[in-house]
Chain A
Amino acid sequence: EDKVVQSPLSLVVHEGDTVTLNCSYEVTNFRSLLWYKQEKKAPTFLFMLTSSGIEKKSGRLSSILDKKELFSILNITATQTGDSAVYLCAFYAGGTSYGKLTFGQGTILTVHP
């Protein structure tokens, strides 16, 4: 059975700290891994990674995929209170999966001023 596991499940930091969120997966077929950010509403897309070792970056957020060790990390540098959210990772198998994603449990990040 395909599985996506995120760690830690929750994290509390202070503004300015750097955080690393982990996502490991055990899947039969792999096409891509996606990261989403969810505040008190709809999850919003952050990154999609398909190739190992290539970092995707957007401002203070960056993510990288390791297809050999089957994990991805999401880094947030110089955290701000606005980064407080649930961060979700999901994998996409491709093929005839019709766009279906399998999500991890999410990491709840709380950033204190």
Chain B
Amino acid sequence: DVKVTQSSRYLVKRTGEKVFLECVQDMDHENMFWYRQDPGLGLRLIYFSYDVKMKEKGDIPEGYSVSREKKERFSLILESASTNQTSMYLCASSFTSKQFFGPGTRLTVL
């Protein structure tokens, strides 16, 4: 079974802090994705990566950056957290269209 893990289930940070969210997959998938999920808005794509060191902006990249130094690991970085980045963050990986999701990180920015 594919396993996608995320570094934290719950995280509380202060406005202005730098935040790192880590995602690791164990199935050698080329593609990895970061989404945020807010009530009524579904899953919105922040960034994705189709290979090591390759990244593409999704629909809402502002305020975020990503890093993919190794194939199995995809990190989401909030350079200076703001209260409007309070959300559920989901990571996913895939080989083709079927994506496998991690358990999510619920981030609260105070």
* Beta-carbon contact of A104 and B42 below 8 Å: yes
Number of interface residues, chain B, beta carbon within 8 A: 27
Q: Is A92 close to B, CB under 8 A?
A: yes
| Chain B contact residues: helix, strand, loop or mixed | strand
**Which bracket fits the contact residues of A?**
20 to 34
Q: Which A residues lie at the B interface, using CB under 8 A?
A: 6, 9, 31-32, 34, 36, 41-45, 48, 88, 90, 92, 94, 98-106
Q: Which B residues lie at the A interface, using CB under 8 A?
A: 4, 30-31, 33, 35, 40-45, 48, 50, 56, 58, 90, 94-104
Please list 14 pairs of residues, one from A and one from B, whose beta carbons are closer than 8 Å in the complex, sorted by A's number.
Answer: A31-B97, A45-B100, A48-B98, A88-B43, A92-B97, A99-B50, A99-B94, A99-B96, A100-B45, A101-B45, A101-B97, A105-B41, A105-B42, A106-B42
